[in-house]
Amino acid sequence: MAKDQENIAPAEAEQSPPEYWRLKLRELRVELETYNDAKAMGKGGRIIKQQSGKRIGELYRELSEISPDPLVKEQMAKDAAEWEQADEKKRDVLAHPLLQGLGTLIAAPFMIAGTVLSGAGQLLVGLADVLTLGPFRRRGQ
C-alpha cells in the first residue's frame, strides 16, 4: 500500500452495517432539513429544493436496500416510491413528519443497547447474590 493511501478514510462499504445504516439515516435527515430550509427560501431555494428532493428519493432507496430488517426494508421502499411519485405540495407534507420519525430510528439502537446492558448488569447482580448466598445471609441478620 502506498503511503498516500494509508490516510484515506475507509470506504462507506467497509463500515459495519449498523454504522452505515445510521450514517445514511443521518444523511437523509440532513437532506430533509435542507429541503425544508429551501422551501422557506421561496423562489430562491427552488433549485436546492429540486436537488434535495431527488437525493431524498435516492437515500430512501439506499436505506431500503441496506436495511437488515425486512419490515423496515419494505417501509423504506414504500416511502421511496411515495416520495418519488409525489408532487411538490405532497412532498412538503411528507417532509415534515419524517423528521420526527428519523430521530426515533437513529436513537433506537442506543436505547436497545442501554436496555441490554442494564439487563446484563441486573443478571450479574442476581448471579452474584446466588453465588454468595446474599439474599439468605441478609435474612439471618
Render pLDDT for 46-82 as a digit per residue (tens, 0 to 9).
888 889 999 999 999 998 898 878 888 888 898 899 9
Greatest Cα-to-Cα distance within the chain, rounded to the nearest angstrom: 79
Which grid coordinates are listed for 64?
431500503
Residues 17 and 68: beta-carbon distance below 8 Å: yes
Query: Quick one: DSSP state of residue 12?
Result: G
List % helix, strand, coil for the chain (3-state, nearest 5). 85, 0, 15
Burial letters 70-102, b for 16+ CB under 10 A, else e? eeeeeebbebbeebeebeeeebeebbeebeeeb
Q: What is the average per-residue pLDDT within 80-102?
A: 81
Work out the percent of the chain whose per-residue pLDDT is above 70: 74
The pTM is what?
0.59
